[in-house]
Chain A
Amino acid sequence: MEKVKVEICCGTACYLLGSAKIMDIESALPEALRGRVEIEARPCLNLCERENLGGAPYVRINETEIVAKATLEGVMKRVTELLEGVS
């Protein structure tokens, strides 16, 4: 079964603006979906210095999809969609 990879930025800006809360994502997911996400804390995704991406905190899903102004709820929603086959 394929896993969804979630990279959470732990850089200063993202951390201050709330990325720490997203680290709880695994325990916040419904039991059936737990174990199907691969969570990784990254020192810095280097996204905050790029303009027009929407603002910190940033999360990257499956290497390519960038979530700006990420919240636990928002990332959970997106991860659930991906796991349930809605994209």
Chain B
Amino acid sequence: MDSSLFLEMESAQFTKTGQAACGDDVRFLTVERENRHLAALSDGLGSGVKAHILANMTTSMALKFLESNMPMLEAAEIIMDSLPVCEVRKIGYATFSLFDFRLGGKAYVTEMGNPGYIHLRGVQEVMPLKDQMIVSAHWPDREVRECVADFLPGDRIILCSDGVTQAGLGQRRDMKFGWRRSGVLEFARRRIALDPEISSRDLSAAIAREALNLAPGGCKDDISCVVAYLRHPRVMRILTGPPYYREHDSDYARQALLGEEHVVVCGGTTANIIERELGVKVRVNLADMRTAGSLPPVGKVAGVGIATEGILTLSRVLSAIEEMRPVEGEPAAAKAILDRMMRHDRIEFVIGTKVNESHQDPGIPQELELRRSVVRRMAQALERNYRKVVTVNYY
């Protein structure tokens, strides 16, 4: 993949009402050495914990086989042979959709039993260059569909479980057979027409939410939607800590000029440097002070971005991304940073390395971690858990 491009892969899920675990599973894998990006979506037979296990086994095996370039029919056969047989239905069963994006702009999609994938270039549907069905001699009732398509910058691939395409089935007169693939396609096209650069995160969430809304009275089947979107990366920058040499302050402050939606200034002293060097002012809304939760409030810096307290806020963000906690429920300042991180693909940390003398006060808890170690762990968690590209620059 061209290094100026980024493949954003995100998913959204809803679990069938009343079940403790989602019976669908979604996994992503980046094979750095080959510049390949893989996604797997599987729907396990039935629902709940048993389906969850079947789906998990399927996605983990499928990604392993895909990574090692095993022929997909053989892979599908091994998966079918390995799955535990359902006591009720006497079959071992899980469906899957696999997406394999490779260097050179080719996308390979392999499906077994799942609704057909959707490939969009803007609002236009793109047909595959190659589309073939192969039948297993071992499992004659299983068909594996293999497709190859050109995947260009701006293209999107949408994978869904049948909880999406069958949403509303039997519940709505206008949808005798549910939402269907055609309904999902129309919905996605409308959303993209409204917002041509809609992120994978927002589009997958919108599709899953719509599927949920089509079936009033709870989630009738596990709902999963994966969207992959090839685009120029959205870059955000986090400035934290004063530079070691004061004469670097002005150069450091200029790093904050990337656009309001893309910049976070973390730390009081850092905010002061930005104010002084760029001639701006941090404003904290009084109402925001009361809703700040357990962290100092978020300020706005006109023309620059948002400003938060430093190490407490960053530590909170770190624990949220390490544990992959949902953004909702986090204190306002942590949520503001997390929201921005999720909306961007490439996250650049600009770190000032001066030690904050005031943190050496014996009245301050010892756990207050060093900024550099918090950022190092954040970079790891963002890369591992959220597939972000992270860079760190020191001042």
Interface of A is mostly: mixed
- Whether B269 pairs with A20 at a CB distance below 8 angstroms is no
Question: Which segment of B42-50, B105-113, B201-209, B282-290 sits at the interface?
Answer: B282-290
Q: A43-B271, A48-B361 are in contact. Are A12 and B311 (CB under 8 A)?
A: yes
* Complex Cα spacing A33 to B374, Å: 44
B42 to chain A, nearest CB (A): 45
Q: Which of A13, A40, A46 contacts B359 (CB 8 A)?
A: A13
B217 at the interface (CB under 8 A from A): no
**Which B-chain residue is minimally distant from A11 (CB atoms)?**
B268
Whether A12 and B282, one on each chain, are in contact in the complex, defined by CB atoms closer than 8 angstroms, is: no
Quick check: is B363 within 8 A (CB to CB) of the other chain?
A: yes
B353 within 8 A of A: no
Cα A55 to Cα B358 with chains together (Å): 9
CA distance A48 to B268 in the complex (A): 11
Supposing A12-B312, A12-B358 touch, asked if A43 and B272 sit within 8 A by C-beta, the answer is yes
Q: Which residues of A contact B267 (CB under 8 A)?
A: 11-12, 43-44
**In the complex, A67 has a CB within 8 A of chain B:** no
Q: Is A9 an interface residue (CB 8 A)?
A: yes
B284 with A44: CB separation less than 8 A: no
Min CB distance B285 to A, Å, is 9
What is the minimal beta-carbon distance from B145 to any residue of chain A, in angstroms?
A: 56
Check if B272 sits within 8 Å of A46, measured CB to CB: yes
A72 at the interface (CB under 8 A from B): no
In the docked arrangement, what's the CA distance between A13 and B312, Å? 10
Question: What residues on B are CB-neighbors of A23 within 8 Å?
Answer: 289-290
Q: Is A29 an interface residue (CB 8 A)?
A: no
Using known A-B contacts A16-B365, A41-B299, A48-B361, determine if residue A9 contacts B268 with beta carbons closer than 8 Å. Answer: yes
* Contacting pair B269 A44 (CB below 8 A): yes
Q: How many whole Å from A69's CB to the nearest CB in chain B?
A: 10
Q: Is B168 in the interface zone, CB < 8 Å from A?
A: no
Cβ of A3 to closest chain B Cβ, rounded Å:
14
Q: In this assembly, does B243 line the interface, its C-beta being within 8 Å of a C-beta of chain A?
A: no
In the bound assembly, the distance between CA atoms of A43 and B56 in angstroms comes to 46
For residue B364, CB closer than 8 A to chain A, the reply is: yes
- Number of A residues contacting the other chain (C-beta, 8 Å)? 22
| CB-contact partner of A40 in B272, B284, B312, under 8 A | B284
Q: Which residues of A contact B268 (CB under 8 A)?
A: 9-12, 42-44, 46
Residues of B within 8 A of A20 (CB): 292, 296
Whether A13 contacts B358 by the Cβ 8 Å rule is: yes
The tally of CB-CB contacts under 8 A between chains A and B is 81
CB interface residues, A 26-64, toward B, < 8 Å:
26, 39-44, 46, 48-49, 55-56
Q: In the complex the two chains form, is A12's CB within 8 Å of B271's CB?
A: no
Complex: A73 Cα to B307 Cα, angstroms: 28
Q: B69-85: contact bitstring with A at CB < 8 Å (1 yes, 0 no)?
A: 00000000000000000
Evaluate whether A39 and B286 lie within 8 angstroms (CB atoms) in the complex, with A44-B271, A49-B357 already known: yes
B352 interface residue, CB < 8 Å from A?
A: no
- Which residues of B are found within 8 Å of A42, using beta-carbon distances? 268, 282, 284
A75 CB, min distance to chain B CBs, angstroms = 15
Which residues of A have CB within 8 Å of B312? 12, 15-16
B297 proximal to A (CB < 8 A): yes
A76 contacts the other chain (Cβ, under 8 Å)?
Answer: no
Is the CB–CB distance between A41 and B297 below 8 Å?
Answer: yes
Shortest Cβ distance from residue A72 to the other chain B in the assembled complex, whole angstroms: 14
Chain A residues lying within 8 Å of B275, measured Cβ to Cβ, are 43
Q: Measured between C-beta atoms, what is the minimum distance from B364 to chain A in Å? A: 6
- Residues of chain A with a CB closer than 8 A to B270's CB: 43
Please indicate which of the listed interface residues A13, A43, A48, A55 has the most CB atoms of chain B within 10 Å of its own CB: A43
20 residue pairs from A and B, CB less than 8 Å apart: A11-B309, A12-B309, A12-B311, A12-B358, A13-B359, A13-B364, A16-B364, A17-B361, A17-B363, A40-B284, A41-B284, A41-B296, A42-B268, A43-B267, A43-B268, A43-B270, A43-B282, A44-B267, A44-B269, A44-B271
Interface residues of B (CB under 8 A from A): 267-272, 275, 282, 284, 286, 289-290, 292, 296-297, 299, 307, 309-312, 356-359, 361, 363-365, 368
- Beyond the given pairs A17-B361, A42-B284, 13 more chain A to chain B contacts, judged by CB atoms under 8 angstroms and listed by A's residue number, are A12-B309, A12-B356, A15-B296, A16-B364, A17-B364, A39-B286, A40-B284, A41-B299, A43-B299, A44-B268, A46-B272, A49-B357, A55-B363
